A and B are shown apart, each in its own frame.
Chain A
């Protein structure tokens, strides 16, 4: 039972993840809501996997069934596309001798993790040494990816303030790569050491062309990304990623101890604490008691915790009207601002938000 209490009663998606057998008592209108919430959260395919694993797929009413199947079709296809794309990226960067590290969803696919199944993917994220950003960008451009589709302002935002290359899009395949040299921007409050992360990267096969982060680092990255990124339309989806990573890595001896030590070492205990709290609340993820106890020191003070709960209990639920209460819009805004607050110091943040609020909308109108 979660330390926080009940989830939003309208949130059927996390209810089914916690207890797949609950669907056997769903009414037709429950299914109507579930499909809509799941579609919004990008979780239709993953829900289908869960239902299959618990032999509940036949419980799905005939009217609703195609929604799950169609989403699974998309997810299956995207896995193939991601694998191919990563192969192409490795090819493009093969002259540069450094271990190419794939992050997030792409990593789950190439490492064959359960968190790859039933997932939809947007961009592919890679981690490269900071000093090689220039050569990497050049090599990718040679192979057909181009930084573009952004306003001048946004390009500057990426290059000057975030010290990153803007997302690069392939001219033919339209796939997008996000090239990172660190898992958090330079301007952020926390600075997990990229050299340390890279030193423990694991090759996915004997060719050693492609690497992923070590299990503990993968979990920490996922947790940090979730609680430092303002965009939470897929908050619940990201939580299910973390849940699946925990369940999978829990089978590796010593994982929890290493996770705790690494969180200390990289100064990421706080985001890990947030991840633990909300993954248990929404998804009932099994966490060893002694580990949870050991992590308790990383909790914020009681007032801050209440505030964070008020925000994240709403912002992590499916972004659908049936999961919203009166405070949800405010909670989502607060999560957005908080993430930006953590990414940028105030003297950069306020002009940035001002610009975004007043100019972004008009730019979107012009370019679409």
Chain B
């Protein structure tokens, strides 16, 4: 059963009570929250994901998003993310309750899911090949990810690229795409059909909102993809659209230093990471116009050997 098949009042009741069991990509969650913003976010953004009776199903992660105390619901209201009773973060203002769920889930996965090499990168797929987009904050990675998935690319993941250690394939986790500051109006203009939820303000990253993942991407969330490219995007005003080949060795070193759990995997992290780089073409990518960026990616996808063979 999908989440959108629950009535909003039923969802709110379960969420505030025993919790809602929800599957997203390879992970099952049991989410408990008494906060209306969290219910709203789930209803708006997770409609296509599977739900089950939380008293009957095994959940990978048990999380709660609630106010620290009755008092803090009303006076400078705050919200806590709890991971099975632990509080890994300091409280945030109540306005950030929904993003806190997303950040908390990212943390839960990257701290525990060592069956994957987990790279801090967006990843999208077309014609059977995945493009991994690592980028430091502010480089426009999520804007580009959003633009691509609104233009026919499949969303595999926005924040966490999961490389299956056993198969070397990329495991989809098509959760909502986070957009910041100017990206929000930019994507609204780019695609008026895209659903972007209510923004949270004054976060550590500025103004943050989330875009609903495309229905088709969620439908195909259990289909892994082969890595095709590792592309470092950089948005800069007035830049032309350029794709420049990049040293594979240096790209690997970047991944080793920036992956969430590279060092936890020991020699296997090295094996999986180098195998990934071996298979993928590595580029730097500069752009200023989103539609031109999408066109450049489309050209890449159409030129790829896999596409030709298919």
8 pairs, A vs B, C-beta closer than 8 Å: A29-B58, A31-B58, A63-B60, A70-B115, A73-B268, A77-B263, A365-B90, A368-B90
B25 CB to nearest A CB, Å: 13
Q: Which of A29, A61, A73 contacts B114 (CB 8 A)?
A: A73
- Chain A neighbourhood of B58, CB < 8 A: 28-29, 31-32, 61, 63-64
Interface pair A36/B266, CB less than 8 Å apart:
no
Pair A66/B115 contact, Cβ less than 8 Å: yes
Q: Does A321 contact B (CB under 8 A)?
A: yes
A74 and B84 contact, CB distance less than 8 A: no
The distance in angstroms between the C-alpha atoms of A61 and B57, with both chains bound, is 12
A209 at the interface (CB under 8 A from B): no
Partner of A63, one of B28, B56, B85: B28
Beyond A39-B84, A40-B84, list 17 extra A-B contacts (CB 8 Å). Answer: A28-B56, A29-B56, A29-B58, A31-B58, A32-B58, A36-B84, A61-B58, A63-B58, A63-B60, A66-B113, A69-B114, A70-B113, A73-B115, A73-B264, A73-B266, A77-B263, A77-B265
B residues in contact with A39, CB < 8 Å: 84
Query: In the complex, how many angstroms separate the beta carbon of B269 from the nearest chain A beta carbon?
Result: 9
Give Cα A28–Cα B268 distance, bound, in whole angstroms: 31
Q: How distant is the Cα of A36 from the Cα of B115 in the complex, in angstroms? A: 18
CB neighbours (8 Å) of B28 from chain A are 63
Separation of A321 and B82 alpha carbons in the complex (Å): 13
Q: How far is the CA of A61 from the CA of B265 in the complex (A)?
A: 24
Q: Which of A30-80 contact B (CB under 8 A)?
A: 31-32, 36, 39-40, 61, 63-64, 66-67, 69-70, 73-74, 76-77, 80
Number of interface residues of A (CB under 8 A): 23
| Total count of chain B residues near the partner, CB < 8 A | 20
- Which residues, 188 to 202 on A, are CB-close (under 8 Å) to B? none
Which B residues touch A31, using CB under 8 A? Answer: 58
B37 interfacial contact with A, CB 8 Å: no
**Closest CB in chain A relative to B157 CB, distance in Å:** 18
Q: Is B290 an interface residue (CB 8 A)?
A: no
**Cβ–Cβ contact B266 & A76, under 8 A:** yes
B50-80 contacts to A, CB under 8 A, are: 55-60, 62
Contact partner, B112, options A63, A67, A320, Cβ 8 Å: A67
A67 touches B60 (CB 8 A): yes
| Residues of B that sit less than 8 Å from A by CB | 28, 55-60, 62, 84-85, 90, 112-115, 263-266, 268
Q: Which of chain B's residues have a CB closer than 8 A to the CB of A61?
A: 58
Q: For B114, what are the chain A residues with a Cβ–Cβ distance below 8 Å?
A: 69-70, 73-74
Closest Cβ neighbor of A78 among chain B residues = B264
Binding site of A, secondary structure by majority: helix, strand, loop or mixed? helix
Report yes or no: A321 in contact with B60, Cβ–Cβ below 8 A.
no
Interface residues of A (CB under 8 A from B): 28-29, 31-32, 36, 39-40, 61, 63-64, 66-67, 69-70, 73-74, 76-77, 80, 320-321, 365, 368
Chain A nearest CB: distance from B305 CB in Å?
33
State how many angstroms separate the Cβ of A207 from the closest Cβ of chain B: 25
Which single residue of chain A is at the shortest CB-CB distance from B28? A63
Task: Give A72 Cβ to nearest chain B Cβ, in Å.
Answer: 9
Q: Which secondary structure dominates chain B's binding surface?
A: loop
Could you tell me if A320 and B265 are in contact, using CB atoms closer than 8 angstroms? Answer: no
Q: Give Cα A69 to B84, complex, Å.
A: 20
Given A29-B56, A76-B266, A77-B264, answer yes or no on A70-B90 (Cβ-Cβ < 8 Å). Answer: no
- Pair B115/A77 contact, Cβ less than 8 Å: no
CA distance A74 to B268 in the complex (A): 12
Chain B residue nearest to A31 (CB atoms) is: B58
Query: Shortest 10 CB-CB distances between A and B: which pairs?
Result: A70-B114, A77-B266, A63-B58, A73-B114, A32-B58, A66-B115, A28-B58, A36-B84, A70-B115, A77-B264
For residue B27, which residue of chain A has the nearest CB? Answer: A66
Say how far B167's CB is from chain A's closest CB, in angstroms: 14
- A236 → chain B closest CB, angstroms: 16
Contact B90 A28 (CB under 8 A): no
Q: Which of B263, B266, B268 has the most CB of A within 10 A?
A: B266
Question: Which of chain B's residues have a CB closer than 8 A to the CB of A40?
Answer: 84-85
Structural contact, B62 and A36, CB atoms closer than 8 A: yes
In the bound complex, how far is the Cα of B265 from the Cα of A74, in angstroms?
7
Which A-chain residue is minimally distant from B112 (CB atoms)?
A70
The docked-state distance in angstroms from the alpha carbon of A167 to that of B206 is 38
CB distance from B254 to the nearest CB of A (A): 19
Tell me, rounded to whole Å, the shortest Cβ–Cβ distance linking B69 to chain A: 15
CA gap between A280 and B182 in the complex, in Å: 63
Whole-angstrom distance between the alpha carbons of A73 and B267 in the complex? Answer: 11
Contact A73 B85 (CB under 8 A): no
Q: Which residues of A contact B113 (CB under 8 A)?
A: 66, 70
A321 to B83, CA, bound (A): 12
Closest A residue to B113 using CB positions: A70
A77 contacts which chain B residues (CB < 8 A)? 263-266
